Amino acid sequence: MPIIKKNDVTPERPVIIVLYGTPGTGKTSLATTAERPLLIDTDRGYDRAVRRCDTLIANRWEDITAEYETMKGYKTIICDTAKACLDDYLMNYAIQQNYKLKTNSLKRFGQMAEDFKSFVNILRSNESDIVFICHDKETSEGDVIKHSPDCTGQSKDLLLRIADQVGYISKVNGKRTITFEPTDTYIGKNVAQLPMIEIPDVTKNEFSSCMAEIISKVRSSIQNKSEEQRKANERLSELRDQLKSATTYENISELIEGMKELPKILQYPFFEEMKSDLSAKGYSYDKDKKQFVKG
């Protein structure tokens, strides 16, 4: 794979979304509103979804890998549930391939991680988005109840690490919502910085494409971030060139104004560069006056 330069705009790519919530919140029904979905059902719940879609009923990991060629025809692959795929099917598959892994949990998880990455990479190479569905797992920390996707520790870490978005589905004021932003009480991941989304009623036309629209927003947001980063890097490069030749108060004032155009994460490092460079030119930063002074 060629090196992606820092100023390159990465192409739009498939995304991975994890949905979790309590039973009855419509996780599977929501997922099946994605574009051209294939549901990999390990939870025997496909017939409870409001909308039916093409379904692969899997009893073991080999049932899934045997359909790789068939999966090329689908835009979205839905795994329901991730716990069964990872904690049951994939673990048993790893042990079948090497029985020594039954008693070596560290190496077993390493092999599971490799097999899981291979699965994800194959689907991504098909330009398929992936939706993993999980039940909600509640844990108590004192009086606080915390929610997270239901997978064992190492499997959960693997799933959360590879996901672009992790959304918690719940009811707020009687309406189903999906929230990606993490809080003190539930796990989330919000790379695309989406606000809380109200899921339309299943009788509304908007519901039929709800997941497809969420996935589209995530794809676009990630690509837009790449474009914003490219522009920020270009602007930072321009300011560094200006800094090299800056010798007057007017030059410094222009640099400070230019610095405000940078993302906040780049402003402080560049300001430190300014202080170092201008110090060699006889300027120091007066914290009280909040300005650079000569001498």
**Per-residue pLDDT tens digits for 74-84:** 999 999 989 99
Third-level CATH fold of 16-222: Rossmann fold (3.40.50)
Helix (H) / strand (E) element for 113: namely helix 105-125
User: What distances in angstroms separate CA 126 from CA 53, 58, 112, one per listed residue?
Assistant: 19, 20, 22
114-129 CB burial, b ≥16 within 10 A, e <16? ebbeebbeebeebebb
Q: Where are the domains of the chain?
A: 16-222, 246-294
pLDDT < 70 stretches in the chain:
1-12, 45-49, 226-227
- The token duo for 61 is 């990991």
DSSP state of 22: -
Cα-Cα-Cα-Cα dihedral of 174, 50, 19, 75, to 10°? -140
236-254 CB burial, b ≥16 within 10 A, e <16? beebeeebeebeeeeebee
Which residues are CB-contacts of 91 (< 8 A; sequence separation ≥ 6)? 108, 112
Closest CA to 32 of 6, 9, 52, 13: 52
Predicted pLDDT of residue 295: 72
Question: Identity (one letter) of the amino acid at 2?
Answer: P
